[in-house]
Structure 1
Amino acid sequence: MSDATPDELLFTVENGVATITINRPDKRNSFHDDMVRQWVAWLEECKTRDDVKVIVFTGTETSFSAGGDTSRFKGKSEQTPLQAKAGMVENTQSLARKVAEIDKPVIAAINGMAVGGGLDVALMCDVRLMASSARVAETYAKMGLIPGVGGAWFLPRIIGTAAALDMFWTSRWVAADEALSLGLVNRVFPDDTFRAEVKAYAEQIAEAAPLSVRFIKRMVYQGLNADLHSHLDTLSSHIALVRTSADHKEAVAAFKEKRKPSFTGN
């Protein structure tokens, strides 16, 4: 059970999109273990809710997230190595594992600065959208730490090894235009329309055939760790399922009738 206060982490569902918002602007939207437990619980709920097609992570005001709340680090430096490891596995790292379990799209809406663990949360998402004035940085080396939420796994896979090491070793700020050129983010939107653009983007995906969206995500990620023959074999099984689905039949009918399809996820 989480002890996070109800207003520290917000959860809403609208038009097929579940939005989880970090709401601690006075702490630059940093998070603590109780918030992570609540976060994981909501993601578990999103896995099974039929009305949730897409999940968005974002922050309030001018920050996405500064990562772990340093004011709560007191005492952690006195832990034994085994205690420190267990704490990471049970708390912060559980978020990365839960995101990896979900075959629905997960989008990071980087509305403002994202630093350290905050950036790592964005990296664990499938797609990253960024406000034009936002900046990101991996500041672990500056703080005498290492990325413990999966950043060293995600970042080189997204932007390449050399570019990832450059960010990690220098702790430098990366602005939105460079983040886009690196491939760190998928789209950059103006600050004044950012929320509306994110909403439109997420709802566009939510309107697509749910089985197709989920199987595409599954095949893309599984394909990264499979040889071509294994990938094609798995793909043929998934195609057999989607071709007989109600959503495929509805898509064909809607195309012939020149209307917008209405998908049920079956």
Structure 2
Amino acid sequence: MNDFLRYQQTGHVVTLTMDQPERRNPLTGNSAVQEFVAAIERIQHDASVRAVILTGAGTVFSAGGDIRAMQAQADPRVEPLRIRQDYRDGIQRLPLALFNLEVPVIAAVNGPAIGAGLDLACMCDLRIASEQARFAESFVKLGIIPGDGGAWLLPRVIGMARAAELTFTAEIIDAQRALEWGLVSRVVPHDQLMAAAQELAARITAHPPQAMRMTKRLMREAMHTRLDTLLEMSAAFQALAHKTPEHAEAVAAFLEKRAPNFDR
């Protein structure tokens, strides 16, 4: 039984809910990373899953790192090399797992996303925010750096200048500013957040799932590869796509002027 993450599947959509609201859904000092990695591995190998919604229980999306765990790392008896390895074996597994997941992930940000909580939202493909959401890249306020990949993730979502402002000031921005900066694609009333995320997931899952997985992989690879390399990868993926039953069904449905059925 999971202590941190609730895994629920309805149809083709999995909802992952961080469920330690009394601790503000921290990502360290608990089993969060292990449970996330296990859930992502499960989703990756389950062809029935076509979209994921990630949200938090209670009033907070995630407050990021656990302060008590940070205090323990400051103990002079703890060697820096041990801390380095703890990051590699711990929180740094999360961005790698989410980056390599081929199923689209929607962050439904229900409340504050602070520090590693903001970075977790940036690890997702899409972000929808409740009016009650707040965002901060607050590591420098605590005298530390974004150890979870935030320095790579945030500039790719909102651009270098705004990422620098958010990171260097450690200030909190509200949902409307997040929308203006492109951090989220939509802001909705708090009580409509999950319905909006589910509606977006439904629009994603309406399309051929294998083509969707390959499309996400191409978009992820495009973030750090050359154009000629991506074109070669695109040609290979397209050759696979042309031979899928889903492609045949999509073309037939278009010509026959009917809705496609990708569950056959």
TM-score computed with the length of structure 1 as normaliser = 0.92
Is the 8 Å Cα contact of residues 247 and 264 (structure 1) preserved in structure 2?
no
1:132 maps to amino acid: E
- Map 1:152-163 onto structure 2 (within 5 A): 152-163=151-162
> Counterpart in 1 of 2:50?
53
Secondary structure, aligned partner of 1:56: strand
Q: Distance in 1 between matches of 2:85 and 2:143?
A: 20
How far off its partner does 1:39 sit?
1.3
Opposite residue 134 of structure 2, the aligned amino acid is R
The partner residue of 2:64 within 47, 64, 67 is: 67
Distance 1:70 1:56 in 2: 27
1:233 corresponds to: 232
Q: Does 1:100 align with 2:96?
A: no
Say which is worse superposed, 242-251 or 185-194, in terms of deviation: 185-194
What's the offset of the Cα at 1:199?
A: 0.9
- Quote the RMSD (CA, aligned, Å): 1.6
Given the alignment of the two structures, is residue 17 of structure 1 paired with residue 10 of structure 2, yes or no? no
Shift of 1:234: 2.1
Distance in 1, matches of 2:53 and 2:90, equals 20
Q: What is the correspondence of 1:154-233 to structure 2 with a 5 Å cutoff?
A: 154-233=153-232
Indicate if the aligned counterparts of 1:64 and 1:113 stay in contact, CA closer than 8 A.
yes
- 2: CA distance between counterparts of 1:101 and 1:223? 13
Look up the equivalent residue of 1:187 and give its one-letter code: R
Q: Give the structure 1 partner of residue 262 of structure 2.
A: 263
CA shift for structure 1 position 255 = 2.0
Counterparts of 1:40 and 1:197 in 2: how far apart (Å)?
26
Aligned to 1:144: 143
Amino acid at match of 1:84: I
Describe the SS at the equivalent of 1:64. coil
2:36 is paired with a residue of what secondary structure? helix
Query: Secondary structure of the residue that 2:26 maps to in structure 1?
Result: coil
Q: Which moved more, 1:234-243 or 1:166-175?
A: 234-243
Unaligned runs of 5+ in 1: none
Structure 2: where are the runs of 5+ without partners? none
Structure 2 residue aligned with 1:29: 25
CA distance in 1, matches of 2:223, 2:150: 18
Structure-1 residue corresponding to 2:249: 250
Looking at structure 2, the residues matched to 226 and 40 of structure 1 have their Cα atoms a distance apart, in angstroms, of 25
- Structure 2 CA distance for aligned equivalents of residues 218 and 7 of structure 1: 30
CA distance in 1, matches of 2:258, 2:65: 48
Q: Deviations over 1:233-263 (max 9, x none)?
A: 2222221211121001111222233332121
One-letter amino acid of the counterpart of residue 11, structure 1: Y
2:92 partner SS: helix
- The structural deviation recorded for 1:264 is 4.5
Amino acid at match of 1:9: L
Aligned length: 261
